Amino acid sequence: MSAEKKTVTLNMGPQHPSTHGVLRVKLELDGERVVTAEPIIGYLHTGIEKTMESMLYYKAIPATDRMDYLAPMSNNLGYCLAVEKLMDIEVPEKVKWARVCLVELTRVASHLVWLGTHSIDLGAMSMLMYAFRERELIIDLYEACGGQRMMTSYIRIGGLASDLPADFEKKVRNIIKTIREKMKDYDKLLTENPIFIMRTKGVAVISAEDAINYCLSGPMLRGCGVNYDVRKANPYSGYENFDFDVPLGKNGDAYDRYLIRMEEMRQSLKIAEQAIDGMPEGPYRAHVPGVVLPPKEDVLYKMESMIFHFKIITDGFEAPVGSVYQAIESPKGELGFYITGDGTNIPRRVRVRPPSFVNLGALPILTEGHLLADVVCAIGSIDIVLGEVDR
Amino acid sequence: MRTELSEFLKSKFADSLTEQELFRDQQSFVVKPDSIVSVCEALLNDENLEVKFLADITCVDWLGHEQEKQGRFEVVYNLYSYKHSYRFFLKVRLDGESPCVRTLTGLWKGANWLEREVFDLFGIKFEGHPNLTKIVTPDELEGHPLRKDFPLTWEQPVFSWNKDDPPEVRNER
């Protein structure tokens, strides 16, 4: 350190437990105060968009799981809705309701991981174990549906990978009941915990104007009182049929974002309950020959279905020339897929609008001028997943 | 909102608006590259439209497609109005030689990272950007991976196993 330089450069990450993955933050410190904070990303860049642009439309679904690996169903849904929009496919009612149910439980699972890791960052050790214990129930449900615990790929173009399991309703009701009960414990542990409040209230503050200027979305935006939730503003997959509230914050600090995510979990459970109550009967895939795979049972016994299955698997389907964008409200914010078809069976462009990436861009304004210890709280309260930031 | 928006752009930017599209209920406008900042500024500040949210900036490479004649690169600005719950797209067509467009960082600070990503992956230059550097690819990597002439399996960094002899690209096209 030279004599005239008064600040210290500190590298936080890429291997640091509180950066939630391989995020590196280059900090200039003046004592305990952060002068500048520069997030450096790209350590997990695997070219997912390039990969998706080189394969048939439905083969890209497993790649979507691997972006936000804490909310695989949301990513599946976003991609499938975009392709369905491009191909102009209408899915059966049952599929819509089942998707809503699964995606809302995914939001709960994702928020549980956030709750556990965020509170362990701030020193509340026991929360992590409780949160993961409850998340396990939802992961078990994934396994019952798609056979996979994390990389589900359960939502497919035009429907679902298979019909819902026989004990789906029982499992979902058990999840709703258990998590509702346990959320009371979380409230007792954190919401009025003086240490937790001191670590989060008034920390990592962003104003509504700045949040809009930084293009934020999700709880980061709603934490400062801007009412924008894709589920309400532009309903997709039948969200207009559900009754739920969008919680809003006032101060735009880490504590408000905590309260919003807790309330979102309660609302998600409410939506999942409505979905399971009103689940209609019907097929689990749309009937669109040549585009949507026929049900597996038919493929085994019907000649025509087998031919279609073979054709779609080997050649795919040709998409029209044109671009579509479909946004969904993922647990992290607005997740969008911009897909450009060019008349062939391979997409010309698949762009993912990653909420974590855009939200992370606001890290400097959240931390500069504040204490080093609050950087940990700021990163935690943005709720990033580096798989999605870097893609 | 749809008619209001196209009326607004037609009346104020008749010279720079070259094309309008409506595909799957989504409205997009093609504008001339040199007017993108003024169009966005007018939309942002208009009291009636209030287009406040820049959701995304991305790019499409039309190499080898008949659309390439109109410009190889198509930079897409994804804009949204909270007030009207309405989304639309502004598109700018750029040639393949030295694609360049003015930056939007003066209007939205969030454009900073979005533009850096487009620069990194497509090589589009954003004039006036405060820090136009690579964001996701390694520093050693030459070229822009999402361009269609960048091979799928090419790995350049020194630890690469196929640095001198990349395998043939398997493209299902």
Residue B163 has pLDDT above 70, yes or no: no
pLDDT digits (tens, 9 = 90+) for B21-47: 888 889 999 999 888 898 988 888 888
Q: Choose, out of A240, A348, A352, the residue to mutate when testing the contact with B (most B CBs < 10 Å).
A: A348
pLDDT of residue A6: 83
pLDDT digits (tens, 9 = 90+) for A302-315: 998 899 899 888 88
Q: Choose, out of B73, B78, B131, the residue to mutate when testing the contact with A (most A CBs < 10 Å).
A: B78
pLDDT of residue B167: 60
Whether A69 and A233 have beta carbons less than 8 Å apart is answered as: no
Residue A2 has pLDDT above 60, yes or no: no
Residue B29 included in any domain: yes
Contacts of B116 in chain A (CB under 8 A): none
Q: Is B107 exposed, middle or buried (0-12, 13-18, 19+ CB in 10 A)?
A: middle
Q: How many CB atoms lie within 10 A of CB A320?
A: 13
pLDDT of residue A179: 92
Residue A195 has pLDDT above 70, yes or no: yes
pLDDT digits (tens, 9 = 90+) for B86-114: 999 999 999 888 888 999 898 898 899 99
Closest CA to A97 of A21, A168, A152, A38: A168
Res. B6 pLDDT band, cuts 50 70 90: confident
Residue B26 included in any domain: yes
Q: Which of residues 120-149 of B touch A (CB under 8 A)?
A: 121, 134-138, 145-146
Whether A184 and A129 have beta carbons less than 8 Å apart is answered as: no
CA dist., res. A265 & res. B123, Å (int): 41
**Count of domains in chain B?**
1
Contacts of B62 in chain A (CB under 8 A): 342, 348
Closest CA to A330 of A180, A57, A8, A114: A114
CA dist., res. A243 & res. B170, Å (int): 48
Range name among A1-10, B66-75, B107-116, B126-135 with the lowest pLDDT average: A1-10
Residue A294 has pLDDT above 70, yes or no: yes
Res. B169 pLDDT band, cuts 50 70 90: low
* Residues present in chain A in total: 391
Q: What is the mean pLDDT of chain A?
A: 89
How distant is the alpha carbon of residue A20 from its chain centre?
A: 15
pLDDT of residue A317: 87
Query: Which two tokens mark A170?
Result: 């029982």
Residue B86 included in any domain: yes
Contacts of B110 in chain A (CB under 8 A): 213-216, 358, 361-362
Query: Which two tokens mark A216?
Result: 């934020």
User: What does the DSSP 8-state code read for residue A385?
Assistant: -
Whether A65 and A153 have beta carbons less than 8 Å apart is answered as: yes
* Cα angle A304, A310, A311; round to 5: 90
CA dist., res. A19 & res. A33, Å (int): 19
Alpha-carbon dihedral A190, A192, A196, A198, rounded to 10 degrees: 170
Residue B150 included in any domain: no
pLDDT digits (tens, 9 = 90+) for A92-125: 999 999 999 999 999 999 999 999 998 888 888 8
Judged by CB atoms closer than 8 Å, whether chains meet at B56 and A323 is answered as no
**pTM reported for the whole predicted model:** 0.90
Q: Domain containing B7 — which CATH number?
A: 3.30.460.80
Percent pLDDT > 90 in chain A is 37
User: What does the DSSP 8-state code read for residue A338?
Assistant: E
How distant is the alpha carbon of residue B81 from its chain centre?
A: 19
Res. A7 pLDDT band, cuts 50 70 90: confident
Put simply, whether A266 touches B (Cβ < 8 Å) is no
pLDDT of residue B159: 54
pLDDT digits (tens, 9 = 90+) for A134-165: 999 999 999 998 888 888 889 999 889 888 89
Put simply, whether A355 touches B (Cβ < 8 Å) is no
Q: How many CB atoms lie within 10 A of CB B108?
A: 22
Residue B79 included in any domain: yes
Q: Choose, out of B113, B119, B170, the residue to mutate when testing the contact with A (most A CBs < 10 Å).
A: B113
Whether B92 and B126 have beta carbons less than 8 Å apart is answered as: no
Contacts of B111 in chain A (CB under 8 A): 215
What residues make up the domain containing B80?
2-127
Judged by CB atoms closer than 8 Å, whether chains meet at B110 and A342 is answered as no
3-state secondary structure of B82: coil
pLDDT of residue B166: 61
Put simply, whether A374 touches B (Cβ < 8 Å) is no
Q: Which of left, alpha, beta for A275 (phi over 0: left; psi -120 to 50: alpha)?
A: alpha
Looking at the complex, report in whole angstroms how far the Cα of residue B36 sits from the nearest Cα belonging to chain A.
18
pLDDT of residue B162: 58
Res. B142 pLDDT band, cuts 50 70 90: confident
The residue-averaged pLDDT of A60-72 equals 90
Point out the residue among A56, A88, A228 whose CB comes nearest to the CB of B172.
A56
The residue-averaged pLDDT of A75-103 equals 92
Point out the residue among A45, A88, A214 whose CB comes nearest to the CB of B137.
A45
Residue B152 included in any domain: no
Where are the extended beta strands (E) located within B43-85? Answer: 53-61, 73-81
Residue B84 has pLDDT above 80, yes or no: yes
Judged by CB atoms closer than 8 Å, whether chains meet at B136 and A88 is answered as no
Looking at the complex, report in whole angstroms how far the Cα of residue B124 sits from the nearest Cα belonging to chain A.
16
Point out the residue among A41, A212, A233 whose CB comes nearest to the CB of B135.
A41
Residue B159 included in any domain: no
CA dist., res. A197 & res. A208, Å (int): 22
Residue B111 included in any domain: yes
Q: Where along chain A do its domains lie?
A: 60-365+378-390
Give ipTM to 2 decimals: 0.86
Query: Which two tokens mark A50?
Result: 């390039």
Where are the extended beta strands (E) located within A81-202? Answer: 155-156, 159-160
Query: Which two tokens mark A341?
Result: 């078809």
Fold of A60-365+378-390: Cytochrome-c3 Hydrogenase; chain B (1.10.645)
